[in-house]
Structure 1
Amino acid sequence: MKLFSYSSCSTCRRAIKWLENNDIPFELIDILGIPPTKAMLVSASEVYGGRKYLLNTSGLIYRTIGSEVVKKMSDKEFFEKLFIEPRLIKRPFLYKSNKCLLVGFKEEKWAEKLL
């Protein structure tokens, strides 16, 4: 299981602590150095029912680009942009399989999927 995280993200730190407290093994990956693959991102958008759920809408990069520009992107452009600019990806991003992905940290949802 891979956990894509950003060291200064408090939500990521809470997710790491939760995984450790529940003895769930994971590989910690710096999302800026090694972002999730485009295939992982596409799978996450399918699992969540739309690409909007993958976006870190509170981040500076997203606000700089603007929601209207993002909405007009084709899927190909959208996933390429996330891969090139991983700060756009909502964190943490947990990948277990193409059908088991978690974006963001909600303890109840993580417990449902992982415990």
Structure 2
Amino acid sequence: MLYIEYPKCTTCKRAKKYLDDHGISYTHRDIKEENPTAEELGVWYPKSKKADIKAFFNTSGQIYRGEGIKDKLPTMTEDEKLTLLATNGMLVKRPILVLEDTVLVGFKEAEWEEALKRNGLL
């Protein structure tokens, strides 16, 4: 399993603590040092079961707000959105947990617990 985070993010710290407290091993990746590629995001998005790729955008981030991305998204294709996300890790919502059957974006403990149980990790 792959765990992607921005180490300074408080939500990411809570998610990582959750994994560590439950003895779950994972491969760690710093989103700022190694941004997800458009290809990775293209695979993860369908596995996330999110209705819209917008769920992968860090809508509260400075870059998202500063560059007016909210206003640009409605006219962009899915490929353009994936390419944009891949340009800067700070545009991507985190943490991301990549499991065999699903991809979790953001940390909601109940959602993570259910997915980890389904994958035999809890």
- Is residue 85 of structure 1 aligned with residue 88 of structure 2? yes
Aligned to 1:113: 115
Q: Output the amino acid matched with 1:55.
A: F
Q: Which runs of 4+ in 1 moved over 6 A?
A: none
The share of aligned pairs that are identical, in percent, is: 36
RMSD, matched Cα: 1.3
Rounded Cα–Cα distance in structure 2 between residues aligned with 1:40 and 1:49: 18
Aligned to 2:16: 16
Write the deviation string for residues 60-87 of structure 1: whole angstroms up to 9, x where unpaired: 0110122111222221211111111111
Q: Normalising to structure 1: TM-score of the pair?
A: 0.91
Write the deviation string for residues 6-31 of structure 1: whole angstroms up to 9, x where unpaired: 01100000000000111111111110
Aligned to 1:59: 61
* 14-23 or 66-75, which deviates more: 66-75
* Aligned-partner SS, 1:49: coil
* Aligned-partner SS, 1:84: coil
Q: Is contact 1:40–1:95 with CA below 8 Å preserved after alignment? A: no
The count of corresponding residues between Structure 1 and Structure 2 is 114
**1:30-69 aligned within 5 A:** 30-46=30-46, 47-66=49-68, 67-69=70-72
* 13-22 or 33-42, which deviates more: 33-42
Rounded Cα–Cα distance in structure 2 between residues aligned with 1:86 and 1:71: 21
* 10-19 or 61-70, which deviates more: 61-70
Rounded Cα–Cα distance in structure 1 between residues aligned with 2:65 and 2:84: 14
Q: Normalising to structure 2: TM-score of the pair?
A: 0.86
Q: Is contact 2:7–2:13 with CA below 8 Å preserved after alignment? A: yes
